[in-house]
Structure 1
Amino acid sequence: MLSKKKTLNFFKKQNQQLKGLNNKLCMSCEQSSVWSHVEELPPDAIFLTKTLFNKDPNPAKVNLGIGAYRTEEGNPYILKVVRKVEREILDDVKLDKEYAPICGEPQYVHACQSVIFGKDAPVLKEKRAAGAQSLSGTGALRVLCEFLKVNFANSKVYLSKPTWGNHTKILLKSHLEEGTYRYWNAKGRNLDIDGMLEDLSKARPGDIVLLHACAHNPTGVDPTLDQWKQIASLLKKNKLIPFFDTAYQGFATGDLDRDAAAIRLFEKEGFDFVVSQSFAKNMGLYSERAGCATVVSQDPKLVSACQSQLEAVIRPMYSNPPRYGAEIVKRVISSPENFKLWKEEMTYMSGRIIKMRQLLRQHLEALKTPGTWNHITDQIGMFSFTGLTGIKINTSSFFFNTASQVDVMISKHHIYMLKNGRISMAGVTTKNVEYLARAMDDVVKNVK
């Protein structure tokens, strides 16, 4: 049996050994973190343009990357009706900071859906639409993709070629299989309706087709009403599920109803479908993340089940939506006076974009820039698919790797745009449109 002294020495020695081991472990931790295997991913291409633009000291720089409306001075714009409503909210002592329902305030959801379908639409009167407030359009897309994954696990989701880059990322995170259909006719710089219909005719019953309701991103090319009817006929024949993404309602033509024509056509044709909706662009609420996810059912008895599924998706994702942006949207839409002001401002904003399209085309044609430029004015909405393309990969500008012409637009002319040649017409002004045209003229003539 060990004496007390020997026992103390034993534990003292053990303690020293443990301290030594601990020191070695700490040194090991300093040399190799548990995060050492984490791969650094490339930044988002769209927001990278903003980062590079902000770092560029050149006074002539122009940011045409991010789709956000700008004034003639190139500054962010807050709608007057939004300012008005914000003052009303500030003075409303009845408002509190309590949790909103999981799917948002029902009045907000109804207001959003009334903009899509029309105030007196049968789908609303007959209560055939489930809905949830979402974190803008991206949030609505993700919630609806999760909803579809649960209920249509084996379905493929077809995206247009090209489409908004985030669509693919959202499908990937939702574990949905992606398919594609032809959309952009690069040669004619218009819609490849025949290719689109041919590709979608190969989809299986129960597959899902994501459609841009208006102002297609990135091309700015929308189907005509007759073409929408062809698309609807094919989807109905093949029992495909429409998935509308409407992020630019009012920005395409300046008219909310005209920009919702495709969705209303599909509802009238008796489709069950889903809609992702955003107020980032048309109400200028980019940072407020105000949107709506809607599920339309021709059978009102199934709406409750769909609503419960939306709740089940949202609760473990972010639990409850923010109230401030939704309160702004609700008050703008629900008040006849505010609604009128909003439509007037949308008409002005879309009108300014149309004017910039006309000026850009005029300058390019005056410069005798090779090619045809009618597509600039034929396209609608916030974006223009310029047609600036290339073959080379510029390793110093990796994220703009599909077009050497785009690289030169950025490096030489300090005009920031996306790698696929998309520019935001909302960032074009009377002060920079000639500079933009001369830069485009330069790369078209000199960069092959």
Structure 2
Amino acid sequence: MFERVSAAPADPILGLNEAFAADNRPNKVNLGVGVFMNDDGVTPILDTVKQAETRLVKEEITKSYLAISGDREYGRQVQALLFGNDSAVVAANRARTAQTPGGTGALRLAADFMHTQLGVNTIHVSDPTWANHGNIFTSAGLTVANYRYYDAKNYRLDFDGMLADLAKVPAGDAVMLHGCCHNPTGVDPSPEQWQQLADVAAERGFVVLFDFAYQGFAKGMDEDAAGLRAFAEKVPELLVASSFSKNFGLYNERVGAMTLVATNADTAEAAFSQVKTLARGNYSNPPAHGAKVVATILTDDTLHAAWIEEVAAMRNHIQQLRDLMVNKLAERGAARDFSFIGRQNGMFSFTGLTPEQVKTLKEDYGLYMVGSGRINVAGMSRSNIDAVCDAIVAVL
């Protein structure tokens, strides 16, 4: 039977990583896969994570299963980060959080809930969006549509187009929004634009899903949640898929969460019972270690403060690389103004390079990036950024 199964195409991001690993050139650079790397080219373990793990090794007494919804304290801390310590949503007990295997697991759980419980058949995502969004949503039985988002000619948000498209979304459909550090463009709405988008969502009544994977990587923990909190004030019901892969460096621990916000506590509890049923039929219950690390850090004032500083250091490192790249490309007389890279947020940038140029960079220079021209800025370092800029200028 298996001989009738044809080979699937390689994942556009993870497949690129495999090709990079097989490349024997010593000066190759991987700007494809979305992980933070320091100047040594290493994805580090945060000091606060090490301290929390040391504490857990000493204090843990069991490896028994977690509840279907995961660690309770973890869920409380997720809600505090998303909505703020003084959130009316949390105070009214309107939110419920399911710990999930990564942000990807959270997106799939949200998609299953929307499709089976809310009757959603179509979800609208930004054009462009993360390459795996389509796979996740179609696997859950949803049809994927696009709304305008990126003005490729001017390297900025096409806010008028976005607003116009969302104003046409039917009430029975869903809309997915990137909470901050839009992947792949690095372009986010302003606080004022978030307020306008929330008004449209409240008026139209479509289902809102936030993909919130990079909190703290744009401006700061609270600043990056401005869009989500604007929606929480104006839209009575919404879903949030969040992740701690990036801001805790817990990539391989798969630490995510799906948070449901309802109009009142009773509705939240009833709806969340269906979320738990869906989780039970999928992965049964989530892995414990990464979530316990997060909860340990966030409930300890000293570790929490130190973690905020570690996230700030990662954010500043990325911004410094952005500014350095812009300057070096200008110094080399690049046949294009790349100053927009310095104005973008988070790890990713849409460079505007064509698929042909991307192919040449890979084949001739050992510089790997996604075919769309998206790069992971955090994949650069001070030791390889000159080679990266030389290669880009050469193919323009």
TM-score by length of 2: 0.98
| Preserved CA contact (<8 Å) 2:114 2:120 | no
Partners of 2:66 and 2:279 in 1: how far apart? Answer: 12
Partners of 1:271 and 1:162 in 2: how far apart? Answer: 27
Query: Larger Rg: 1 or 2?
Result: 1
1:247 equivalent in structure 2? 213
Which deviations, in whole Å up to 9, do the C-alpha atoms of 1:371-427 show, x marking residues without a partner?
2111110111011111101xxxxxxxxxxxxx0000011011101110100111111
1:46 equivalent in structure 2? 13
**Helix, strand or coil: the match of 1:157?**
strand
Partners of 2:254 and 2:83 in 1: how far apart? Answer: 21
1:196 matches 2:142: no
1:319 matches 2:280: no
Q: Partner amino acid for 1:420?
A: S
Partners of 1:206 and 1:339 in 2: how far apart? Answer: 40
| Preserved CA contact (<8 Å) 2:120 2:174 | no
| Preserved CA contact (<8 Å) 2:93 2:265 | yes
Q: 1:51/1:85 Cα in 2 relative to 1: closer, same or farther (>3 Å)?
A: same
Q: After TM superposition, list the pairs within 5 Å mapping 1:69-80 onto structure 2.
A: 69-80=36-47
| Preserved CA contact (<8 Å) 1:149 1:174 | yes
1:426 equivalent in structure 2? 378
Q: Partner amino acid for 1:63?
A: N
The offset of 1:124, in angstroms, is: 1.2
2:336 equivalent in structure 1? 371
1:289 matches 2:286: no
2:28 equivalent in structure 1? 61
| Preserved CA contact (<8 Å) 1:79 1:284 | yes
1:170 equivalent in structure 2? 136
Aligned sequence identity (%): 38
| Preserved CA contact (<8 Å) 1:276 1:294 | yes
Moved more, 303-312 or 350-359: 303-312
1:85 matches 2:52: yes
**Helix, strand or coil: the match of 2:211?**
strand
Moved more, 263-272 or 186-195: 263-272
The offset of 1:95, in angstroms, is: 2.9
Name the count of aligned residue pairs: 396
Q: 1:270/1:199 Cα in 2 relative to 1: closer, same or farther (>3 Å)?
A: closer
1:362 equivalent in structure 2? 327
1:128 equivalent in structure 2? 94
Q: 1:49/1:154 Cα in 2 relative to 1: closer, same or farther (>3 Å)?
A: closer
| Cα RMSD after superposing both structures | 1.0
The offset of 1:153, in angstroms, is: 2.1
Partners of 1:271 and 1:157 in 2: how far apart? Answer: 19
| Preserved CA contact (<8 Å) 1:130 1:296 | yes
The offset of 1:270, in angstroms, is: 3.8
Partners of 1:411 and 1:36 in 2: how far apart? Answer: 33
2:306 equivalent in structure 1? 341
Ranges in structure 2 where 5+ consecutive residues have no aligned partner: none
Partners of 1:260 and 1:124 in 2: how far apart? Answer: 15
| Preserved CA contact (<8 Å) 1:382 1:425 | yes
| Preserved CA contact (<8 Å) 1:153 1:176 | no
**Helix, strand or coil: the match of 1:160?**
strand
Q: After TM superposition, list the pairs within 5 Å mapping 1:109-124 onto structure 2.
A: 109-124=75-90
Partners of 1:155 and 1:172 in 2: how far apart? Answer: 10
Partners of 1:121 and 1:199 in 2: how far apart? Answer: 30
Q: Partner amino acid for 2:208?
A: P
**Helix, strand or coil: the match of 2:209?**
strand
2:293 to 300, 322, 328: 328
Ranges in structure 1 where 5+ consecutive residues have no aligned partner: 1-33, 390-402
Which deviations, in whole Å up to 9, do the C-alpha atoms of 1:239-278 show, x marking residues without a partner?
122110000001112x100011111111112431000000
Greater length-normalized contact order (CA 8 Å, ≥ 6 residues apart): 2
1:234 to 183, 195, 200: 200
The offset of 1:154, in angstroms, is: 4.1
| Preserved CA contact (<8 Å) 2:349 2:376 | yes
Q: Partner amino acid for 1:417?
A: M
1:184 matches 2:150: yes
Which deviations, in whole Å up to 9, do the C-alpha atoms of 1:32-76 show, x marking residues without a partner?
xx2121111011111112111111111111111111111111112
Partners of 1:241 and 1:36 in 2: how far apart? Answer: 42
